[in-house]
Amino acid sequence: MKKIFLPFLAVTITVTTMAQTKKAQPAKATSSKPAATSAASTTSLKTLRDSTSYSLGVNIARNLKAQNLDKIDAMLLYKGLSDVLLNKKVALDDANASKCVNSYYQQMNPDKGKANSNDANKNNAEIAKIKAAGQKFLAENAKKEGVVVMPEGWQYQVLKASDSKEHPTATSTVKCHYHGTLTDGTVFDSSVDRGEPISFPLNGVIRGWTLAVPMMTVGSKWKVFLPSDLAYGDNAAGPKIPGGSTLIFEIELIGIDKM
């Protein structure tokens, strides 16, 4: 079961602190001739790199305007972008930068801040409810015949044993068939349904798989029950896995990559 990543590109802006900039000078008298803005801008975009760089700047600016953040200092924004892109030391660590951005956003968007806070509280309550249901499920499941409860809180049931003595390690690349469901039976991912097994490194998947699969032998098939803290925690994963979900997998270990 590979980790699921959100299908969008998130642009993170690191804010840097600098001395207060000088006051802007009064604008000079404008010429009566029309400004050749289009010609000037297009002549500087000579390569694909130029056009891409400019387009990214436009996208960032439009996103900032859409969030009512168009009154920020453009030169300091450029400084932050430049420091990161040129691998220079930034003036604020990620935690403080995030705190600054959130505080400024709330000042500029007080109504949205309250709405977001209410949404967050509602979401946290829903996650807590889902986690509680998962814990209840695991407690009942632990009583079933053949279910083994592990110290970390996950459970497994052997569906098919094998004569093989070969185990993968936590860093092995393995080939598996799997079928993943929520506790209510909702299927969120299945190589079985796709009819094609998948190969992946065990150190690139959720923690529960890293714990469970190395205990399996090649050719065996287990049913594995993972509490949310060994799956995706409080984070949602794709459209079918809400935050706090307990996950169930039927895993068949087909082979181990020897390379």
Instruction: Show which residues are catalytic.
Output: 178, 188-189, 206, 232, 249
Contact 7, 236 (CB under 8 A): no
* 85: Cβ contacts below 8 Å, ≥ 6 apart: none
For residue 185, CA distances in Å to 102, 188, 218 come to 39, 9, 27
Q: What is the dihedral of CA 187, 242, 126, 153, to 10 degrees?
A: 80
Contact 222, 159 (CB under 8 A): yes
Give the count of beta carbons closer than 10 Å to the beta carbon of residue 108.
Answer: 15
Tokens for 32, please give them: 């009566």
Half-sphere exposure of 186 (CA within 13 A, CB side): 11
